[in-house]
Amino acid sequence: MKVIQISDFHLRGDGKLSFQKADTMKALHQTIDYFCSMKDYELPEFFVVTGDLSEGGTREGYEFMREGLRKLPRPVYIVPGNHDKRDFFLEMFTEETPVKEDIKPYICYTIDEYPVRVIIIDTSKPSCHSGGLSDRVAEWLEERITEYPEKPTLVFTHHPPFVTGLPAMDEGFDQADRLAQILNKHENVTLCCGHMHTAIFTSWHKIPCVTCPPIAMQMEVDFRGKNDINLTEEEKKEEFKGGGDRFFLGNPGYLIHDLQGDRINTHYQIIPTGADYSGPWPFKYYEGEED
């Protein structure tokens, strides 16, 4: 059994470039075409998109995303990110977010009918870039995590709860320790995140964790902090926030989570689009838009 994870489209619906540099509409079309051209044996049972579908969470962006995702040859499930809007998700992605009334407006749900169980967790906070676990979501997850103890389980979130080493992105995660305590009640769980715009593979509180590469904008992997002595004079003038605040225009990437026995292997793949990897560019908004 295979699950393909994709993440971070940042699609604009107004024809402008995301962050004034990235043609995210083109990236969406290239991505959909790539997966639609796969042979049947290459396809997963379903896709999971781990957040930041539409830049700014606009209705126009979601309309294009919905049209594109529904062309994929397998079902799609989605997770909200910090750039998304819960109300539009629940209104426009009813097929892709089978959320029960007891947890709304949080976008949390499970997919139980496969050899691998999937749990979707909403870690977004309205109008906030960082993420966390709310009390209500934590209580919901407590009830869900041990329901199928014999099944390998993939837990999908947008925000990673661990420190990545990219200072501009390490903004903290509310109730990270509580999340670890809950997940450790299951003996075979992998945490799959988005948000970082680069692939990371690690172990956190003995839990295997991965972050998915993005469809749009590959993060510059730079471990310097904002006060690092190795900053250039130009970077100091730019009020450099630390590594994790600039991107390259690279090829889209994705992860394949593949069940082998009772173990899940994760494979990193790219979508060859002929990207020029220009950059690094700052995540810069148009005048009048909010960060």
Q: What is the DSSP string of 148-207?
A: STTS-EEEE-SS-SS--S-TTT---EETHHHHHHHHTTSSSEEEEE-SSSS-EEEEETTE
Q: What would the pLDDT profile of 48-68 be if each residue is shown by its tens digit?
A: 999 999 988 788 999 999 999
Q: What would the pLDDT profile of 108-149 be if each residue is shown by its tens digit?
A: 999 999 999 999 999 999 889 999 999 999 999 999 999 999
d(CA 257, CA 265) in angstroms, rounded, equals: 6
Cβ(193)–Cβ(52) below 8 Å: no
Instruction: Please report the pLDDT score of residue 126 as a whole number.
Output: 86
- Structure tokens that stand for 168 in this block: 């501009």
Instruction: Please report the pLDDT score of residue 239 as a whole number.
Output: 72
Domains and CATH numbers, the chain: 2-282 (3.60.21.10)
d(CA 142, CA 156) in angstroms, rounded, equals: 15
Least confident of 79-88, 153-162, 168-177, 262-271: 79-88
**Confidence check: pLDDT of 99 > 70:** yes
Instruction: Please report the pLDDT score of residue 229 as a whole number.
Output: 83
Structure pTM?
Answer: 0.95
Instruction: Please report the pLDDT score of residue 290 as a whole number.
Output: 65
d(CA 113, CA 96) in angstroms, rounded, equals: 16
**Cα 41 off chain centre by:** 25
**Which residue has 């109300």 as its token pair?**
87
Instruction: Please report the pLDDT score of residue 42 as a whole number.
Output: 97
**Confidence check: pLDDT of 259 > 80:** yes
**Confidence check: pLDDT of 94 > 80:** yes
Residue 138 amino acid letter? A
Q: Which of 72, 70, 67, 57 is nearest to 18 (CA)?
A: 57
d(CA 46, CA 6) in angstroms, rounded, equals: 11
- Structure tokens that stand for 69 in this block: 């995702």
Q: Give burial (CB, 10 Å; 0-12/13-18/19+) of 195.
A: buried
